[in-house]
Amino acid sequence: DVKVTQSSRYLVKRTGEKVFLECVQDMDHENMFWYRQDPGLGLRLIYFSYDVKMKEKGDIPEGYSVSREKKERFSLILESASTNQTSMYLCASSAGTGFSYNEQFFGPGTRLTVL
Amino acid sequence: RKEVEQDPGPFNVPEGATVAFNCTYSNSASQSFFWYRQDCRKEPKLLMSVYSSGNEDGRFTAQLNRASQYISLLIRDSKLSDSATYLCVVNSGGYQKVTFGIGTKLQVIP
């Protein structure tokens, strides 16, 4: 069974803290994604990676960085958390290469609150 | 104009009703189209792909209208379990990258 896991379901951090969100997939997928989901705005892509050590900016990369040292793991880093980064963060993975889209499988999400 | 637009709803319909959602997209070069379903406090999951010829999966029918740049989802004989948010997803040719609509909330009432 397809599985994407995220390190925490709920996280509370203070402004200025460095925050790490971890995502692991067990499907040997090439592609991994980080989204945030906010009411009225939907899912917005922060970063994605199509291979180990490769990353591409999504639509809203400012204030975030990512790391993909192993194929199964994709980390999202908030270098200095701010209150406007309070959100639901969703990780996803998909198989395949090239421009043909393949189904994305999502993790359960991390609800991050920055105080 | 947003790349993908949906009416957020909510659509409140009685059990057994037929309900349809539309989703418009702005990029005429868009290649692939999908509907995802997201239950309350859960992650999105693929419901169905949308092909040029349209496709049907049980009570669900998805259609694409390239001329008017919209896709639709029709649900027949609504069940309580259909209550969810339906996300329109469009791939515009970028590598594996898609754009999600904000979703349309459906509430099926007994």
Query: What's the pLDDT tens digit per position in A41-69?
Result: 999 999 999 999 999 999 999 999 999 99
* Residue A13, strand partner residues: A114
Could you give the residue ranges of the DSSP H alpha helices within chain B?
none
B15 close to B107: Cβ distance less than 8 angstroms: no
Q: Of A92, A112, A88, whose CA–CA distance to A30 is shortest?
A: A92
User: Is B101's CB within 8 Å of A41's CB?
Assistant: no
> How far is B83 from B85, CA to CA, in rounded Å?
7
B22-25's contacts with Cβ under 8 Å and 24+ in sequence apart are B22/B70, B22/B71, B22/B72, B23/B70, B23/B71, B23/B72, B23/B73, B23/B88, B23/B90, B23/B101, B23/B104, B24/B68, B24/B69, B24/B70, B25/B69, B25/B70, B25/B71, B25/B88, B25/B90, B25/B99
Which one has a higher pLDDT value, B31 or B26? B26
User: Is B96's CB within 8 Å of A99's CB?
Assistant: yes
Task: Examine the pLDDT at B86 and tell me if it is beyond 80.
Answer: yes
Task: Examine the pLDDT at B52 and tell me if it is beyond 90.
Answer: no
Residue with tokens 């996280």: A11
C-alpha of B76 from chain center? 14
Residue of B44, B45, B98 with shortest CB distance to A101: B98
What is the structure's pLDDT at B85? 97
User: pLDDT exceeding 70 applies to what percent of chain A?
Assistant: 96
What is the structure's pLDDT at A52? 93
Q: By CA distance, what is A46's nearest residue in B?
A: B97
Question: In chain A, positions 5-64, which contact chain B (CB-CB < 8 Å)?
Answer: 31, 35, 40-45, 48, 50, 56, 58
> Confidence class of residue A24 from pLDDT cuts 50, 70 and 90?
very high
The token pair at A31 is: 């592609």
> How far is A97 from B14, CA to CA, in rounded Å?
43
> Confidence class of residue A99 from pLDDT cuts 50, 70 and 90?
low
What is the structure's pLDDT at B90? 92
What is the structure's pLDDT at B95? 67
> Confidence class of residue A89 from pLDDT cuts 50, 70 and 90?
very high
Q: Which residues of B75-87 are buried (b: 16+ CB within 10 A; e: fewer)?
A: beebeeebbbbbb
